[in-house]
Amino acid sequence: MISHELSAVEANSRTSAMLAAQIDQFLAAGGQIQDMGEMRTIPLPLRREVEPAPKASRNARIIPPKEYLDQAGRREAKRRELAPQVRELAETLNISQIAAKLGVSRRMLDTIGRDFNITFKPAPTGAQLAAMARDKVFAERLGAFLKIGLTRRQALMASELDYRVFNRICKTYGLQFPEKLEA
């Protein structure tokens, strides 16, 4: 395809002719052109990078003295320090209760549990919490029946509770009804 414009060579030759005319004018006005010689560039020095140190396995980690610990080392030392206390509390409390008592996060407690083979009691569900609140109300009512001197059978009939629920509440809250009325 033939271009309608001038070729690149013709366009450059016009620019070269203009520059040559400007140089002639400069020299005619008494200007001088100095030859500065050849310009040499200094190459940049080679880049030298240090190789990263190999990562040690987690089990092979040796904990240095306390004053030289990095952040991970301080966390691990704190977990080791808390582990016996967490193990003791885990027998009676769930993980949320332990976190609130010790003032640490549940995540940290979970890590301590994994590292030191500690199992936590499961936290009660919403239904279990509701049942415990309901049982507490029933226990207060049964306590009132005990105070007025009802027998076990009379309290069971008056409370309209199932026999198993009645026994569970009596056992949980330590309520002991007399079997018979004392004469």
pLDDT tens across 156-181, in order?
999 899 999 999 999 999 998 888 77
Range of the domain at 92: 66-115
Max CA separation in the chain (angstroms): 145
pLDDT digits (tens, 9 = 90+) for 40-91: 888 888 888 877 777 766 666 665 555 566 788 888 888 999 999 999 999 8
Q: pLDDT per residue over 113-149, tens digit each?
A: 999 999 988 888 888 889 889 999 999 999 998 898 8
Residue 143 lies in a domain: yes
Same domain, yes or no: 110 and 71 = yes
Beta bridge partners of 121: 94
- CA-atom Rg of the chain in angstroms: 45
pLDDT of residue 88: 92
**Residue 95 belongs to some domain of the structure:** yes
How many domains does the chain divide into?
2
Tell me, yes or no, whether 111 and 131 share the same domain.
no
Q: How far is CA 118 from CA 32, 58, 72, 73, 92, in A?
A: 91, 19, 21, 21, 13
In a domain, 36, yes or no: no
Q: Which pTM value belongs to this model?
A: 0.40
Smallest CA-to-CA distance from 61 within 77, 48, 43 is with 77
